[in-house]
Structure 1
Amino acid sequence: MGFTIVLGCVLSMMAFMAMGYAMAKAKLAKVEHSRTLSAFLVYCATPGMIISSFQTMCFTPEVGKKLLLFFLASLAVQLIMYGAMVLILGKRLEEGKFRILTIGSFMGNVGFFGRPLVEALFPDQPIVACYSMMFATSMNLLIFTIGEFMISRDRKYITIKRAFINPTILAVMVAIPLYLLRIKLPSGIQSIMLTLREMSAPICMFVLGVRLASMDLKDVFGQPIAYLGSALKLIAFPLLAYAIVYFMPWFDSTFKITLLITTGTPCAAVMLSLAELHDCEQKNAA
């Protein structure tokens, strides 16, 4: 049953990607359009998704504890995977493709892709959407510090300011106090936030389809390291994360399965954005 739900959810998201690809090939959508939509995702849809997820729950100390533990667990497994990759690759990290491989091994699309998956599997447990948002929060702290450092090799990017001054973290700083104080937004605003939340995954996949249409797919899929990166991100990382929490009795099954699914999401699109920004291995990032 669970496999069928996940398969259906994945196929529906693939359909949105196919729409973007087809429209781009038909000259009805351009890469320039995808940049505008990407900005909308980052600055509008993501904050709406985060705030809406927390507005669906009422605060209790037990739930608050679970969310904090999920944040810490997601941060820990990402740092463990990062440390393992650094130890394994060593001096090969001087090459851009191995730096992309390193961050791609643990940074995934936990918000736009992971949230719909866990919500489909656990439709009666709104906490799973908040779990995915806590993962997105921990990942964003790493993206704008370790992620940018790995790609650029410039330590100036490891700063508190870059870690906390970004749309995702700012949205969390709004959502968490509202959640802790049990403040519910007016129904009209909640409706807007919910609409942004539901729009996020389809738009994200549509943008991905448009971007794929602008690339030489033979060139993209002809990169051997891309298959290694996919295996690390989609198989090795989720298995590592699940193994770490599996024998910990204070984590319930929903917690563990949500961590497994969110760690197994495809590489985050922000990887390509950072690679383009720092002119580092754009093809492998794609």
Structure 2
Amino acid sequence: MFTVTLVTVAVMLAYAVPGYLLSRFRAVKEEAIPAFAKVLMYVCQPCLTLYAFDRVEYSVDLLKEIGIFFAVTLLAQLIAILLFYAVVKGRGDDVAYRVSAVAAAFGNCAFMGVPLVEAALPDAPRAVLMSAIFFLTMSLLGWTLASYLITRNKRFVSVKSIFLNPSVLILVVALPLFFTHTKLPSTVASAVEILGKMTTPLCMLIMGMRLAHMSPRALIGRPVQYAAIGVKLIVFPLAVYGIAWLMPVALYLKQTLLLLSACPVASVVLNFAEMHGAGQENAANVVLVSTGLSLLTIPLLSLLL
């Protein structure tokens, strides 16, 4: 398992190299990066969710597992954010501390998580679906609690945005097909799979582009950011895995929880920071540094499987 996860993460990180070179040699300008991010969020990510639902067959048993996974991941992220923020609340006027609280819980569970669970758990197709559920819970918290913490302004907490974001809207298509045992036509399914699996290379290309535009000083970051990275890469996955082992659920579900929880800080943390115009440099730091360090932490944590 160690070798499988090590190679998988290394390949994913290698996708960032072309993005770095394109930006370094000015073939892609910094102002063009958000356009790539929009393709990722509004096209590829919804296709990944649809692909995940299309791979499995509906059953009452699976529905129960989805419900358990939804509840565990939602509560785990909520508790992690609130606990981290409670510790740093005295310095809450500094946006770096607020961004770090969000980063301590939000992981790249879809864009990096899908290839990771496909490689580590090839006999558990439901694991891919769980990555979509994890991403959904993260999106729900992102448009509410995370947006408020980053901005400290309630007007950025939008109920409308909760339901009108890509990760939720795609469920209007995916859930009816799932519940009625309806599969996508092979040609459509193939196109959806291709677009869905573009999420990983595109996400890493974007990270490489962002890295090329960061100064060494910004990349080094601040102690609170490393505290958030430590929580996200080590404390959070171990805590979630410990809770999972106390629950009477299938083994693959426990393994999936560990692998997805171990993913580095999600790029959506940076997306929210950019959207709200606060803490962009801090968010970029925790995303990039945690992604690099995950080459070591994910394979080590996989030894627990």
Q: 8 Å contact 1:137–1:172 — kept in the other structure?
A: no
Per-residue CA shift, 1:26-57, capped at 9, x if unaligned? 22333234222211111110111000111011
Task: Note the C-alpha offset of 1:253.
Answer: 1.9
Tell me how large the CA RMSD over aligned residues is: 1.4
Question: Is 1:269 the counterpart of 2:267 in the alignment?
Answer: yes
Give secondary structure in 2 for the equivalent of 1:84: helix
AA partner of residue 61 (structure 2): E
Unaligned runs of 5+ in 2: 285-305
AA partner of residue 128 (structure 1): A
Question: Is 1:218 the counterpart of 2:217 in the alignment?
Answer: yes
Question: Is 1:54 the counterpart of 2:32 in the alignment?
Answer: no
Per-residue CA shift, 1:69-88, capped at 9, x if unaligned? 11111111111212212332
AA partner of residue 98 (structure 1): Y
AA partner of residue 258 (structure 2): L
Q: 8 Å contact 2:151–2:276 — kept in the other structure?
A: yes
AA partner of residue 9 (structure 1): T
Q: 8 Å contact 1:114–1:262 — kept in the other structure?
A: yes
Q: 8 Å contact 2:82–2:101 — kept in the other structure?
A: no
Task: Note the C-alpha offset of 1:245.
Answer: 1.8
The equivalent residue for 2:202 is 203
The equivalent residue for 1:229 is 228
Return structure 1 stretches of 4+ with deviation > 4 angstroms: none
Task: Note the C-alpha offset of 1:134.
Answer: 0.3
TM-score between both structures, scaled by the size of structure 1: 0.95
The equivalent residue for 1:162 is 161
Paired with 2:79 and 2:224, the residues of 1 have a C-alpha distance of 21
The equivalent residue for 1:104 is 103
Q: 8 Å contact 1:225–1:284 — kept in the other structure?
A: no
The equivalent residue for 2:298 is none
Give secondary structure in 1 for the equivalent of 2:232: helix
AA partner of residue 278 (structure 1): H
The equivalent residue for 2:240 is 241
AA partner of residue 134 (structure 2): F
TM-score between both structures, scaled by the size of structure 2: 0.89
Task: Note the C-alpha offset of 1:89.
Answer: 2.4
Q: 8 Å contact 2:96–2:225 — kept in the other structure?
A: no
The equivalent residue for 2:9 is 10
Task: Note the C-alpha offset of 1:64.
Answer: 1.6
Alignment counterpart, residue 280 of structure 2, candidates 259, 279, 282: 282
Matches within 5 A, 1:61-80: 61-80=60-79
Q: 8 Å contact 2:221–2:282 — kept in the other structure?
A: no
Paired with 2:60 and 2:178, the residues of 1 have a C-alpha distance of 11
Paired with 2:6 and 2:255, the residues of 1 have a C-alpha distance of 16
Paired with 2:64 and 2:194, the residues of 1 have a C-alpha distance of 28
Q: 8 Å contact 2:107–2:261 — kept in the other structure?
A: yes
Task: Note the C-alpha offset of 1:157.
Answer: 2.8
Deviates most, 17-26 or 122-131: 17-26
Q: 8 Å contact 2:238–2:258 — kept in the other structure?
A: yes
Paired with 2:263 and 2:100, the residues of 1 have a C-alpha distance of 15
AA partner of residue 266 (structure 1): P
Q: 8 Å contact 2:232–2:264 — kept in the other structure?
A: yes
Deviates most, 24-33 or 164-173: 24-33
The equivalent residue for 2:186 is 187
Paired with 1:198 and 1:45, the residues of 2 have a C-alpha distance of 8
| Aligned length in residues | 284
